Chains A and B, each alone.
Chain A
Amino acid sequence: MAKRQNKSTPATPPASTTTPETKKPRRQTRPSGSRFFSAWQNQQLHALQFSLHRLWFNPVSTWITLATIAIALSLPTCMHLFLKNLETLTDDKREIPTITLFLKKSVNEQQAKDRAELLSELPEIQQVKVITRDEALADFRQITGFAETLETLDENPLPHVLVVTPKLDTLGDSDEALDRFSRKLKAYPEVDNVQIDIEWVQRLRTMLNIAERIVLVVSVLLGLTVLLVIGNTIRLDIENRKEEIKVTRLIGATNAYIRRPFLYGGVWFGLFGGVLSLAIVQLAFMFLIAPVEKLATQYGSTFSLSGLAPSMTINILVASVFLGLIGAWIAVGKHLRKAETSE
Chain B
Amino acid sequence: MIEFTKVGKRYPTGQLALYNVNLQLDAGEMIFITGHSGAGKSTLLKLIAMLERPTTGEIIVSNTPLSKMRPSHIPAYRRRIGFIFQDPHLLQDRNVFDNVALPLVISGMSQTEIRRRTHAALDKVGLLDKERSYPLMLSAGEKQRVGIARAMVNRPTIILADEPTGNLDPELAQDIMYTFSQFNELGATVLIASHDHQLVERMKKRTIVLQKVAQ
Question: Which one, A6, A18, A39, A340, contacts B107 given CB within 8 A?
Answer: A39
Q: A2-B209, A14-B157 are in contact. Are A251 and B83 (CB under 8 A)?
A: yes
Give the CA-CA distance A249 to B106 in the complex, in Å.
10
- Flag whether A5 is at the interface (Cβ < 8 A): yes
- Flag whether B199 is at the interface (Cβ < 8 A): no
Binary contact readout A3-30 vs B (1 if CB under 8 angstroms, 0 otherwise) = 1111111011111111111100000100
Binary contact readout B76-93 vs A (1 if CB under 8 angstroms, 0 otherwise) = 111111010100011101
What are the residues of chain A within 8 A of B20 when measuring CB–CB?
1
Taking the closest CB of chain A, its distance from the CB of B125, in whole angstroms, is 11
Q: Is the Cβ of A5 less than 8 Å from the Cβ of B207? A: yes
Q: Is the Cβ of B206 less than 8 Å from the Cβ of A18? A: no
Give the CA-CA distance A43 to B105 in the complex, in Å.
7
Taking the closest CB of chain A, its distance from the CB of B81, in whole angstroms, is 8
Chain B, range 1-44, C-beta contacts under 8 Å to A: 1, 4, 19-23, 26-31
- Flag whether A257 is at the interface (Cβ < 8 A): yes
Q: Is the Cβ of A12 less than 8 Å from the Cβ of B187? A: yes
Question: Which one, A18, A247, A248, contacts B155 given CB within 8 A?
Answer: A18
- Flag whether B185 is at the interface (Cβ < 8 A): yes
Question: Which one, A5, A11, A19, A246, contacts B28 given CB within 8 A?
Answer: A11
User: How many pairs of residues, A versus B, come closer than 8 Å at their CB atoms?
Assistant: 146
- Flag whether A42 is at the interface (Cβ < 8 A): yes
- Flag whether A107 is at the interface (Cβ < 8 A): no
Taking the closest CB of chain A, its distance from the CB of B123, in whole angstroms, is 7
Give the CA-CA distance A5 to B182 in the complex, in Å.
22
Q: Quick one: closest A residue to B150, CB to CB? A: A251
Q: Is the Cβ of B26 less than 8 Å from the Cβ of A21? A: no
Q: Is the Cβ of A4 less than 8 Å from the Cβ of B188? A: no
Q: A38-B110, A243-B91, A248-B102 are in contact. Are A12 and B186 (CB under 8 A)?
A: yes
Q: A12-B186, A12-B187 are in contact. Are A244 and B91 (CB under 8 A)?
A: yes
Question: Which one, A8, A243, A247, A251, contacts B26 given CB within 8 A?
Answer: A8
18 CB < 8 A contacts A-B: A1-B19, A2-B208, A4-B206, A5-B207, A6-B207, A8-B26, A8-B29, A11-B26, A15-B187, A16-B187, A19-B155, A28-B155, A38-B108, A57-B93, A244-B91, A249-B75, A251-B106, A252-B81
- A-B CB proximity, top 3 nearest: A39-B108, A11-B28, A252-B79
